[in-house]
Structure 1
């Protein structure tokens, strides 16, 4: 073999070893691709303003709360439990997952949270006369049975599996433009059939401050829950 051929082979080996070393220390294109994959798998958290659907201005106790909350329903489902609380046999929870933020962009809200006495739902039913509460001509109005804490880090689309801490009422401080997620559950007897047109209701700074859900402003859900199984 000529000296020129030996030199060419040696140069090829040196380049090959350099390429392997580059791959090992993560500085190659392969390392960059791995980093890109890692970024795509990072948890995602949606800002309140980017959730679709209508919103309610909510104030526990009306004007007693200096800065109200803005609330949106981001998901809903029928379930037998919320956190460590279970619906009675023969009933299901209608669970709503709620995004909350301060009602003022330039300031936060202190000592705020969901409260069973100031939140609820209104819905239509085939047999509204059998509803335990709020019987109307074609539907019923229920106050919340359980509410969770408002949590600061709930990844998108994980709220159904999130470990909720359930209380009758719970309070936190919210920073300006911060988004928190919570859940509330309304216990409805399985005897009530044909539940449809579910609306979320909450006391506002100017209306519905007397703990009667029939007086609260309401809004339709962006997406209705699937029928009970």
Structure 2
């Protein structure tokens, strides 16, 4: 093509020559395999649509059903709203095996400051929260008070308990939880944190009607008078 173009240059008027030059440049550009992105690199066949990729976000307290309850430990200036978000039966929790003849009710909880416009400090969940349940046979089993309270409930204290962490997704069951005994967690304004607690219960007890219970400013000592929030029955072999 270059020889033909040289021959035409000698015989064409300037205007026609300019037109042919532009046409030749356009033909050369179109004959390439694929375009470029503007920096010399080949352009992909399909640029991803940014609106089609859903951005992952940490779970928030409102994502989970239920209102939750306000938990206030001794010395806390501001309470924390908590609710149970998931549960299962397990032989051990955080590498702590259950005692012989007993198993753990592992419960994952969500926690957020009581007031949405401020955070709260020094939050601990180990040996602070309780699970209540109704036994089918009317006894609470070994290791606890054998007799249910006046409402027919048994109570188990939470141990071990993890720290409260911000998760980037909803895979709390796959998270590597670690017991937090001597330290506490701070929760920022509007922040939601997730934690895990184990509640040890006699294996012979057929438990039903589960609830997560917490102390408040009005009642620190007696679990029977703590506010409770119900959660669905745990999965796994009971």
Using the size of structure 2 for normalisation, the TM-score is: 0.77
RMSD: 3.0
Paired residues of 2:36 and 2:43 also in contact (CA < 8 A): no
Change (3 A) 1:11 1:184: same
* 1:30 lines up with 2:39 in the alignment: no
Deviation track 1:41-87 (CA, whole Å, cap 9, x = no partner) reads: x54312213322131100112xx211011112111111122222222
Aligned-residue offset at 1:149: 0.4
* C-alpha distance in 1 between matches for 2:98 and 2:108: 17
User: How many residue pairs were aligned?
Assistant: 215
Query: Could you say which residue in structure 1 is the equivalent of 2:209?
Result: 197
Paired residues of 2:165 and 2:193 also in contact (CA < 8 A): yes
Deviation track 1:176-220 (CA, whole Å, cap 9, x = no partner) reads: 111111111101121112x1110111111222x12x423321111
Query: Could you say which residue in structure 1 is the equivalent of 2:126?
Result: 115
* C-alpha distance in 2 between matches for 1:100 and 1:74: 10
Query: Could you say which residue in structure 2 is the equivalent of 1:182?
Result: 195
Match of 1:150, SS?
A: coil
Query: Could you say which residue in structure 1 is the equivalent of 2:71?
Result: 58
Match of 2:122, SS?
A: strand
Change (3 A) 1:220 1:130: closer
Match of 1:149, SS?
A: coil
Paired residues of 2:130 and 2:212 also in contact (CA < 8 A): yes
Aligned-residue offset at 1:36: 5.9
Change (3 A) 1:28 1:145: same
Task: Answer with 1 or 2: which has the greater Rg.
Answer: 2
Structure with the higher fraction of residues in helix conformation? 1
Change (3 A) 1:186 1:176: same
* 1:86 lines up with 2:97 in the alignment: yes
Written as runs of structure 1 = structure 2, the 5 A alignment for 1:210-221 is: 210=221, 212-221=222-231
* 1:49 lines up with 2:62 in the alignment: yes
Structure 2, unmatched stretches of 5+, are 6-21
Aligned-residue offset at 1:28: 5.4
Change (3 A) 1:169 1:219: farther
1:145 paired residue among 146, 159, 178: 159
* 1:14 lines up with 2:29 in the alignment: yes
* C-alpha distance in 1 between matches for 2:180 and 2:198: 11
Paired residues of 2:72 and 2:217 also in contact (CA < 8 A): yes
Structure 1, unmatched stretches of 5+, are none
Paired residues of 1:70 and 1:100 also in contact (CA < 8 A): yes
Using the size of structure 1 for normalisation, the TM-score is: 0.79
Match of 1:214, SS?
A: helix
